Amino acid sequence: MAVTALAALHRKLFDETDGSKFARLKERLIKKHATDDRLAVLDILTAYARDGQLLHWRSFLMSDIVHLVEGSQHAAFFAWALEQPALAYWAVDGLLKSTGVDAYAPLVALAASGATSLDVRAKAIKSLAVFSRQPFDQGLPSDPGHWKAEQLRLSAVLGWQADGYPDGAGYKAPARHYSLAQPLSRLEKAAAFLERQLALRRQREQDLAQPSNWLTLASAEDMAAIDAHWVLPEIYRRFLEWYSPLRVHVDGKRFPQGLHLYGAAELVKAQHGYSVHAVHQHNIAGWLPKLVVIADAGGDPYCVPLEERSIDGDLPVYRATHGTGEWRFELHTDDFIDFLNEIALAV
């Protein structure tokens, strides 16, 4: 019965001309048959990638094929796909997954080829970096489709090839304050709660070449730059010094536009467009000078005051809506720690 059903799905996939219906058939094929008949499903998908009539789906199927592949049985398919412009992007990962270090030479050649599209060349370098633990992708966007031509570190890749493709050391996780493991104060407990929530997100998606959603130790240089601009409220300054957000971005019902929580390295520059003109560096009229923007949600600033304190030593957080012609600040919370807990619940 399973073989009959699989054969029927095979025929339907190759006969279907409607993209939406094809997508549903493909999902049914994978969900119902990939566990017990993985190789048969792979044969169907690879055959469609070679000869299917919906050209865009030939490309879209590649990520499913790469996901399902185990071992080297489909190495020849990926070697062929690497030469097809529409399939080459995901063929990079398929060749690495199926042949390991034997994929290095053809992928370096692909990265060096001026006849290959930029996104495929970048993908080859990114995947080589991940597989070999070499830093060819350090500090670059996690998605190689966003790389620019000048960001292709081809000389480093070619030097690595000349050295015989040695394994690299990989990336270390960002340094974190010890109190995240043993929090005592209210601030420490709030930071530890936020860190635990961020860690769950990092388990789902993380690229240590461009780490995101971490609370890290701020550098002395960044804190000195901040101190040169303001005398920050002590609790917020301590938060930045001990738990500086590193590309922390959360979204969901609480922050439908997505909230970006600033870290020590970006705090000064983050005032541009709010209190400071980004180009001419002069103060912008209409901004309350004692407010420092610590986060934004879709451009709406969240700020702490430089001179205001609550009785327990915490400080309020204010919010305003951008694009209204003037800034009208409203109290968002009278407790910065409550703001951190709100962000943690939104992760």
Per residue in 305-335, pLDDT (tens digit) is 997 665 566 899 999 998 777 889 999 999 9
Coil, helix or strand at residue 241: helix
- Other C-beta atoms closer than 10 Å to the C-beta of 276 total 18
- pLDDT value at position 309? 65
- pLDDT value at position 313? 64
pLDDT tens track for 103-142: 999 999 999 999 999 999 999 999 999 999 999 999 999 9
- pLDDT value at position 1? 46
- pLDDT value at position 64? 97
- pLDDT value at position 311? 56
In this prediction, residues 252-274 reach a mean pLDDT of: 92
Q: What angle do CA 341, 344, 345 make, to 5 degrees?
A: 90
CA atoms within 13 A on the CB side of 103: 26
pTM of full prediction above 0.75: yes
Average pLDDT, the chain: 93
- pLDDT value at position 5? 84
Residue 278 confidence class, pLDDT cut points 50, 70, 90:
confident
Quote the percentage of the chain above a pLDDT of 70.
97
pLDDT tens track for 217-226: 999 999 999 9
pLDDT tens track for 54-80: 999 999 999 999 999 999 999 999 999
Distance CA 105, CA 59 (A): 24
H or E element: which one contains 305?
Answer: strand 300-305
- pLDDT value at position 2? 53
Q: Which of 298, 346, 342, 299 is nearest to 317 (CA)?
A: 342
- pLDDT value at position 333? 94
Quote the percentage of the chain above a pLDDT of 90.
85
* DSSP code for 147: -
- pLDDT value at position 215? 98
Class of residue 88 by CB neighbours under 10 A (exposed 0-12, middle 13-18, buried 19+): buried
